[in-house]
Amino acid sequence: MNLDVMPTIDIRKYGGKQVAIVAGEIIATGDTLDEVIKEARTLAPKIPLAEIKIFSVPSTLSVIYYVADIPVRNYTA
């Protein structure tokens, strides 16, 4: 089971909520972290909490940039 897969999260459906993700699937949602953890533990009791990804979904569209550690050259125009 690949636990590192991330699904596309529908912000219209999950915006403003907390979501728990296991193996690329959203397994629990809620308004608070406590609700999501409780539901995730009920639905997936054998999966360690450390392997459950929990995210707060923004209520509006956001852009997240990933910056890799790559060398950057200084260019002059």
Mean pLDDT of 57-72: 71
Q: What is the pLDDT of residues 8-18, one digit of tens each?
A: 888 889 999 99
pLDDT at residue 57 greater than cutoff 80: yes
Burial category of 54 from C-beta neighbours within 10 Å (exposed 0-12, middle 13-18, buried 19 and up): middle
Contacts 24+ apart (CB under 8 A), 63-72: none
Q: What is the pTM of this model?
A: 0.69
- Which pLDDT belongs to residue 68? 64
